[in-house]
Structure 1
Amino acid sequence: MNQSAPTSMPTRHGRRVGIDVGSVRIGVAASDPDALLATPVRTVARDPDPTAAASADLEEVAAIVTELAAVEVVVGLPRTLAGAEGPAAEAARTYAGRLSVRIAPVPVRLVDERLTTVDAHRNLRESGVDGRRQRSVVDQAAAVLILQGALDAERNSGRPPGELVRTDGRKPRTKDRRR
């Protein structure tokens, strides 16, 4: 009997983009082409009308994805410590859905990001960044943590991280809704 190693998951090469969706700013991070290390890219100001069909922040993030020739985008899903989803998670889901339509066929995935902003503030404080300067870079730092976590999870499991955002309006299959 011929038993060969599974070949269902090819090595995925290419740059990934990480997004931390906030109510005021959006942090953007990117990986190297080998998807090993996440680094900060930019902080994008949120459009005052986030429901606009073509909001300025959505267009700027889409331009970054195109400029970096990203093969995947990872958006942080801020769940509570108990794993529930509140208004911030709903806002991240909505943003991820709008972004996935805008940048298709580049896939967008939602990944759990509990406490990344708290960790980002702590890391910045420990590295000597003062409080006023933190506001302008904390979203980027949170995006780095979100993306690095997703890269590490994929490397450890051999599977894409989180939950695939579908552009057809249907809910993802159960196996795509990993928590």
Structure 2
Amino acid sequence: MKKAAIDVGIKRTGFAFTDPEEKIISKVKTVETADIDREINENMPLSEIIVGFPINLQNRFTPSTYMAVNKAIEIAKNYAPVPVYLMDERFTTKIASEMRKKHIIDGISASILLEERLNGSKGRRVFWSLPFLSDKISSLFSLGNFKNVCMMGEDLRGIESKAHDLNFLIFEEDPTFFVLRSRCNNCTLHFGIDWDIILQSANNIDLVICSQRYVEKAKEIFREGTAIVSEGSEYDGLYIGGRWIRIETVKDRENL
């Protein structure tokens, strides 16, 4: 099979494909963006599809970012089980532009992405829906007097779609899930972890849901008594709704 890379543009989109042995780039071309699906279909079967992720240098989403991620989600859904990955393309267009061949810039950008992939660069796997969470997990939130929730990382991702009576401040590091979670009406969403914003909001937060790598930092920032929930293991958690859940509380640091 072949690998493919796609540089999605407003009007034109670049494609690059490997040879069937996936050792070299054998074809580079530019098509109308409306013809993306036709180009994919004509080159099937594919072992994986790489889509360029055009976030800006300030790590902020632009209209082009949303367009590329939404197209990646659509491709992942329509061509499953072919894996789709997002890869940072902030510098590919600049490199392609310096080649002074404007009519094939998109194709060159796609070829640079594909070359990086062949050289071992990693991407983020694209999914088209939020992870499944059972009602037993969402029922956890009825046990406490919670109103404002801060979420960091991937643990219990998507719980905001089940707990409509809570307000969520969410810091999402995955571009696909950032777009999927942006459709939530009861949350304020940020791309990436911004500790300054978290610190400013800390006194208003009743519950923190975060990945284990952020637990210790959360204990330093949030006020005494704040509950911290993360996904653990059978050695340190409670088995609820198909997941091991770890529950901790921020202690009074002055008395430690």
Residue 177 of structure 1 and its aligned partner are, at CA, apart by 4.2
Identity %: 29
Q: 2:113 corresponds to which residue? A: 146
CA distance in 2, matches of 1:65, 1:112: 24
8 Å contact 1:27–1:43 — kept in the other structure?
yes
Q: 1:164 aligns with which of 125, 141, 152?
A: 125
- Taking the aligned partners of 2:105 and 2:52, their CA distance within structure 1 comes to 14
CA RMSD of aligned residues (A): 2.6
Question: Relative to 1, partners in 2 of residues 1:21 and 1:146: Cα closer, same or farther, differing over 3 Å?
Answer: same
List per-residue Cα deviations over 1:107-153 (Å, max 9, x = no partner).
Answer: 1110111121110111x23xxxxxxxx23211110100111112213
**Counterparts of 1:125-136 in structure 2 under 5 Å?**
125=100, 134-136=101-103
Structure 2 match to 1:89: 65
- Paired residue type of 1:59: D
**Mind listing any 5+ residue stretches in structure 2 that lack a counterpart?**
132-152, 155-172, 176-191, 193-256
The letter for the 1-side match of 2:126 is V
Q: Identify the residue that residue 51 of structure 2 maps to in structure 1.
A: 75
The structure-2 alpha-carbon separation of the partners of 1:121 and 1:137, relative to structure 1 and needing over 3 Å to count, comes to: same
For residues 141 and 40 of structure 1, what CA distance do their matches in structure 2 show? Answer: 10
Partner Cα separation in structure 2 for residue 18 and residue 148 of structure 1:
9
Q: Which runs of 5+ in 1 are unaligned?
A: 1-13, 48-56, 126-133, 155-160
- Give the match's secondary structure for 2:46: coil
Change (3 A) 1:40 1:139: farther
* Distance across 2 between alignment mates of 1:15 and 1:84: 32
Q: Residue 40 of structure 2 aligns with which residue?
A: 62
Instruction: Report the Cα distance in structure 2 between the residues aligned to 1:166 and 1:20, rounded to whole angstroms.
Output: 18
Q: How many angstroms does 1:39 deviate by?
A: 4.2
SS in 2 for 1:71: strand
- Which consecutive aligned stretches of 4+ in structure 1 deviate over 6 angstroms post-superposition? none
Q: Residue 39 of structure 2 aligns to which amino acid in structure 1? A: V
Deviation at 1:163, TM superposition (A): 0.8
1:44-55 pair list within 5 angstroms: 44-47=31-34
Query: Which of 1 and 2 has greater Rg?
Result: 2
Q: Counterparts of 2:69 and 2:118 in 1: how far apart (Å)?
A: 20
Question: Would you say the 8 A contact 1:79–1:85 is kept in 2?
Answer: yes
Task: Give CA-to-partner distance per residue, 1:48-69, whole Å, 9 cap, x none.
Answer: xxxxxxxxx2321321341xx2
TM-score by length of 2: 0.48
**2:115 and 2:65 mapped to 1: Cα distance?**
20
- With over 3 angstroms needed to count, the CA separation of the structure-2 counterparts of 1:84 and 1:36, relative to structure 1, is farther
Q: For 2:130, give the aligned amino acid.
A: R
Aligned length: 138
